Amino acid sequence: MPIEIQGLCPLISVYDMPESVAFYTDVLGFEVLTRSPTYATENGVDLYHWALLKCGEAQLMINTAYDEGERPVERDRERDALHGDIGLYLGCPDVDGAYKQLKALGVVCQPPKNASYGMRQLSLRDPDGYGLTLQWTVKVN
């Protein structure tokens, strides 16, 4: 008998928790379901190490890549480049509408395309370089 699995919730490590939370909530519409306790407040912004985010049926956990006091001042672009082969695919019934909304927010992304296997897809990167693809099934001729 197979194990019953009812969902998938990836965990990704991020350089700047407030930046990542703002991207996922303000840009993509996720909400913070729960998070770890605040360890400090900087410029009125709570700092914490872990959060569980949700948007529709999609869930994502984000965790700081560095412990308190260990984060380098500059973002490690080589580390971010290693995220290039990680892709999170999110169901999005209105890919074209999402593209317009993302462009209006200044998010760098190319126009949506239809993949040969029947998905309309819009790809972008989050602040840490993780690949995100918004997609929805389309008919293939």
CB count within 10 Å of CB 40 equals 10
**What whole-number percentage of the chain has pLDDT above 90?**
78
Right CATH number for 11-137 from 3.30.70.360, 2.40.50.100, 3.90.1150.10, 3.10.180.10?
3.10.180.10
Residue 141's pLDDT is 66
* Residue 118, pLDDT above cutoff 80: yes
Residues 6+ apart with CB under 8 A from 4: none
The whole-chain average pLDDT of the chain stands at 93
What token pair was written down for 50? 């872990």
DSSP state at residue 98? H
Residue 80's pLDDT is 79
Which of 108, 80, 84 lies closest to 14 in space, CA to CA?
80
Residue 83's pLDDT is 81
**Over the stretch 24-80, which tens digit does the pLDDT of each residue have?**
999 999 999 999 999 999 999 999 999 999 999 999 999 999 988 888 888 888 887
Residue 109's pLDDT is 94
C-alpha to C-alpha distance for 53 and 61, rounded to whole angstroms: 6
Q: Where are the domains of the chain?
A: 11-137
- Residue 104: pLDDT band (50, 70, 90) is very high
Residue 99's pLDDT is 98
For residues 123-129, average pLDDT: 94
